[in-house]
Structure 1
Amino acid sequence: MVNDNHTLKAALLIGLYAVIIGYTDNHVRVIANEIGLWQFHLMRTAMAAVALALAAPILGLRLRPVNARAVAARSAVHGVAMMCYFGALGFLPVPQVSAGLFTAPIFVLLISRFVYGAQIGPVRMIAVGLGFAGVLMILGPQVMNIGPAAAVPVLGGALYALGNIALREWCPQESATTMTAGFFAAMGVFGLIGMGLTAAFNMPFEAGYLLRGPAWPSGTALWWIAVQAVGSLVAVGLMVRGYQLTEPSRASIFEYVALPAAALWGWVLFGEAPLAREWLGMGLIWLAGLLIVLRGR
């Protein structure tokens, strides 16, 4: 359920979301060696559903939606946003696709102001600009190879922004658990569709992570899919709750932290030390978050 603005609490929850997601996403490379993207989403959703079914009665979590249509609409919007992101990976460099998705805070400002009439002050606009500049610095020069295809991940960013605004505007009475379950259900449906298409066209293993057909994963891959399922379940729940605690135009800026968190985990786990420009980009993102927290207080 949506509360009044609690910016610092939202920052902490979304920051923790970024730390968890950064860790789990760094291990997708292990999973990608054995199965394709669509099978991963379907299997992750199945494991997350089992975890939710076991945890809900023990923890007293509410899964039943108050407004099923609103939850389904929001889940579909977020699911399509993620499909724009993953689909663009098939024909665009990863930095450019990531930059497209990270336009979401800009779209949150625009949609909040011009669709829902929210008052957006200069501090928030400066923070969004600083955060996005930090993202571009971390992702590097490949981001500048802009062409018509770049519209796909930007569309994903716009839909992702709309989905986050929908948490307060469409689904004000829903629990974080309900919204998290809806997100995973949408990803599972898209995973099932993708698996059906790759199986129908008999896509070989060599087609790569994005187009690979069904395959039998090893125990190691199954373990990391399970870690992904539980970790993502907790992380997405934290992110949803963060958006429920403050205005979307504030919360979206904290999501920029996901990129430096992933980079730092890559350094800790695999020795992939960030470059000087990446450290500077991280600094800009932290500064953007600090501005919003101080302004929120």
Structure 2
Amino acid sequence: MKNPRTGILLKLGSVFLFTVMAAILKATAPAVPTGEQVFFRSFFGIPVILVWLALKGELATGLRTANPMAHAYRGIIGTISMGCGFAGLGLLPFPEATALNYAMPLMTVIFAAMFLDERVGVFRLSMVALGFAGVLIVLSQRLSLGMGSASAEQSLGAMLTLTGAAFGALAQIFISRMVATEQTSAVVFWFLVTASVLSLVTLPFGWVVPDPATTGLLVAAGLVGGLAQIMLTSSYRFADASLVAPFDYASMLMAIAVGWFVFGEPTTLRMLAGAAVIIAAGVAIILRERHLGIRRGQRAGTPR
């Protein structure tokens, strides 16, 4: 049963929790290597998903898969995305990393046209171009295109974040194909399992034994991330995706607050301007698709 208010609240809750998770990962980045962060985020998200399925009475059926190899490919791509994103988060100011991640839905539009043969009209292409102009505005100080220069470390962080966004967009393409035969719970669960296993490949490259406080934060990141994923998934049960999707951008306000009050990172006008352009383009695409969906539904319901 649809309940838009509940769907929106769940979406906002998931955005808040994902922001908390990202803040935890940024805070632990100086002490823990990226591969180890990926392990904690993935491994400790698994129990949350299992408890959720058990409470729903779907533990026996929710993890079944008809295409194990699809989960493996999606897991590899998603793990690369997660690793690059976590690494970039540790090198960039928190709001800036958040803004650059907004490039992911823009890239998804491009990849959908390339790999799914989706028709992309002039409007969407124009908005994608506008969104990438916003990305360039955010990037300009990191690539020394404007006044001032950026450290090599922060430039690397920007590139890693965008690489993570690109692989995240590819993962979305895989998911869009998989949902025809796979349950959402199975997609989430087997991704977490795959990421946990793949992260162990980095074990010989600098893993550390974190102190109790850092360990607690890393475990919390996994638990919070798992809960956020459940809230995100549940939001689409109560409201249409086109209605709740724009609330993703509430994370920008949360990121600015976290960056300022937690990490002492001032937000530049250039970053805000670029983020505003990216968000405007993304929201325009979402609203346009919602409008077209309503029109298609009206035509489908018109007697002929």
Q: TM-score, normalised by structure 2?
A: 0.69
Q: CA RMSD in A?
A: 4.1
Deviation at 1:72, TM superposition (A): 2.2
Pair 1:193 & 2:201 matched: yes
2:32 aligned residue: 35
Q: Does 1:221 align with 2:199?
A: no
Q: How far apart are the structure 2 equivalents of 1:285 and 1:16? A: 22
Seq. identity, %: 22
Q: Which residue number in structure 1 is paired with residue 256 of structure 2?
A: 263
Instruction: Indicate yes or no: 2:173 matched with 1:165.
Output: yes
Q: Describe how 1:1-297 pairs up with structure 2 within 5 A.
A: 17-61=14-58, 62-85=62-85, 94=92, 103-143=103-143, 156-195=164-203, 197-198=204-205, 212-218=206-212, 220-237=213-230, 258=251, 261-295=254-288, 296-297=290-291
Shift of 1:88: 7.5
SS, match of residue 32 in structure 2 = coil
Q: 1:272 and 1:41 mapped to 2: Cα distance?
A: 24
Aligned equivalents of 2:185, 2:113: Cα separation in 1: 28
Q: Which has the larger displacement, 258-267 or 111-120? A: 258-267
Kept in 1: contact 2:98–2:251 (CA 8 A) = no
Instruction: Point out where structure 2 has 5 or more consecutive residues left out of the alignment.
Output: 292-304
Q: Is the 8 A contact 2:45 2:222 kept in 1?
A: yes
Residue 52 of structure 1 aligns to a residue whose secondary structure is helix
Give deviations 1:100-148, integer Å, cap 9, x for gaps.
866543432232223322111233223323333334434551145799x
Once the two structures are superposed, residues 6-48 of structure 1 have per-residue CA deviations (whole angstroms, 9 ceiling, x without a partner) of xx99998766544322222122243234433222222333322
How far apart, in 2, do the equivalents of 1:115 and 1:137 lie? Answer: 28
Q: Equivalents in 1 of 2:129, 2:236: separation in Å? A: 20
Q: Aligned pairs, how many?
A: 271
Q: Which amino acid aligns with 1:19?
A: F
Inter-partner Cα distance in structure 1 for 2:36 and 2:121: 43
The superposition leaves residues 61-93 of structure 1 with CA deviations (integer Å, 9 ceiling, x where unpaired) of: 422324322222212221233345557789xx6
What is the CA–CA distance in structure 2 between the aligned matches of 1:175 and 1:273, rounded to whole Å?
42
| Distance in structure 2 (CA, Å) of the matches to 1:11 and 1:126 | 28
- Hey, what's the Cα distance between the residues in 1 that align with 2:77 and 2:274? 29
User: Using the alignment, how far apart are the partners of 1:40 and 1:152 within structure 2?
Assistant: 16
Separation in 1, partners of 2:30, 2:54: 36
Decide which structure has the larger Cα Rg and report it.
Answer: 2
> What CA distance in whole angstroms lies between the structure 2 residues aligned with 1:234 and 1:138?
31
Q: 1:214 to 1:80 in 2, by over 3 A?
A: same
- Secondary structure class of the residue paired with 2:142: helix
Q: Partners in 1 of 2:236 and 2:109 — Cα distance? A: 14
- Measured after TM superposition, the shift of residue 166 of structure 1 is 1.4
Distance 1:18 1:108 in 2: 19
Instruction: Kindly state the Cα deviation for residue 164 of structure 1 after the two structures are TM-superposed.
Output: 0.2
Deviation at 1:184, TM superposition (A): 1.7
Shift of 1:261: 4.1
Between stretches 153-162 and 55-64, larger displacement belongs to: 153-162
Q: What amino acid sits opposite 1:216 in the alignment? A: P
SS in structure 1 of the partner of residue 44 of structure 2: helix
What's 1:209 paired with?
none
